[in-house]
Amino acid sequence: MSVVQARGLSKRYGSTVALDNVDLDIQPGRIVGLVGPNGAGKTTALKAILGLAEFDGQLSVMGLDPRTHRTELMQQVSFIADVAVLPRWLRVGDAVDFVGGVHPRFSREKCMAFLARTKIQPTQRVRELSKGMIVQLHLALIMAIDAKLLILDEPTLGLDILYRKEFYNTLLGDYFDEQKTILVTTHQIEEIEHILTDLLFIKEGRIVLDASMDDVGERFAEVMVNPDKADSARALKPLYERQIFGKSIFLFDGIDRARLAELGELHKPSVADLFVATMKGTYA
């Protein structure tokens, strides 16, 4: 059974279309990256999945409709948002007590064990913590919940590279297993591309790429082509072309590798390259 299944998921804010007929299937045990430019509809999609926003179309999360079964859903879904939502006056110990009080699947022991690995003290207030420490606290609270689906919306925004690495290290080492599913949005795509099992690109409210990382590796290829062969490369309808040192670099989708190898040296494009190629013209 899909963890998330959407059919014709749509959302408008006035005359602006935030989500335009989105179809989605997310399977258990996957780490899915939802990537798109600012304003593409990422957060709107996550809000719909969490039952935090109204929407049109069909959506089922863990087999439940987020519009009508939000309370049951919240027992199985956790969420870290890109905006700090922990009240600044709250003490760390009280935050642990609170989540322990409201969430039936929260393990206090786990949470304290995570916190013990940080410099965070239970008596500290949120306002005394650095941004990195607030995310650590948030992560400790969330990872202590035995939830099937974890949704992360720009979880490492504004963190330095040490905190960012530690964040994903903890997530992979202490949280994730094949029974769990993670859906994550981030702009720091090059840092997490090897963590992902699946990639979703969203552009202007539409899903423009939905593929496993294995498929991405097989479908897309980058070729560095000398000027004399550039026209034959263009005839194969590349997704994207850029120039470096008088050579052209073409990005192809689904063209036979043997054929491309005749044009020049083949490379596997990074997710960032794919992103740039797919999103061209977004802000124009």
Q: Which span (2-10, 19-27, 173-181, 201-209) binds another protein, by CB under 8 A?
A: 173-181
Give the one residue of 54, 109, 178, 228 binding another protein; rule: CB under 8 A. Answer: 178
Are residues 221 and 255 in contact, defined by beta-carbon separation less than 8 angstroms?
Answer: yes
Rounded to whole angstroms, the Cα distance separating 157 from 138 reads 13
| Footprint of another protein on 193-212 (CB under 8 A) | 194-197
State which residue, 255 or 271, has the beta carbon closest to another protein: 271
Contact string 235-274 vs another protein (x = CB under 8 A)? -------------------------------xxxxx----
Phi, psi for residue 243 in degrees, rounded to 5: -110, 135
Contact string 91-130 vs another protein (x = CB under 8 A)? ----------------------------------------
Q: Is 275 in the site for another protein (CB under 8 A)?
A: no
Are residues 146 and 107 in contact, defined by beta-carbon separation less than 8 angstroms?
Answer: yes
Of 167, 161, 146, 192, the C-alpha closest to 34 is: 192
Q: Which residues, including other chains, have CB under 8 Å from residue 269's CB and lie 6 or more apart?
A: 220, 221, 222, 251, 277
Query: Could you give the strand order of the β-sheet that contains 220-225, starting from the edge strand earlier in sequence?
Result: 240-244, 247-253, 220-225, 264-267
Total number of residues that touch another protein (CB under 8 A) = 24
Rounded to whole angstroms, the Cα distance separating 62 from 77 reads 9
State which residue, 48 or 184, has the beta carbon closest to another protein: 184
Give the one residue of 111, 192, 199, 271 binding another protein; rule: CB under 8 A. Answer: 192
- Other residues' Cβ atoms within 10 Å of the Cβ of residue 182: 22
State which residue, 192 or 209, has the beta carbon closest to another protein: 192
Binding site for another protein (CB under 8 A): 31, 165, 168-170, 172-174, 176-178, 191-192, 194-197, 213, 217, 266-270
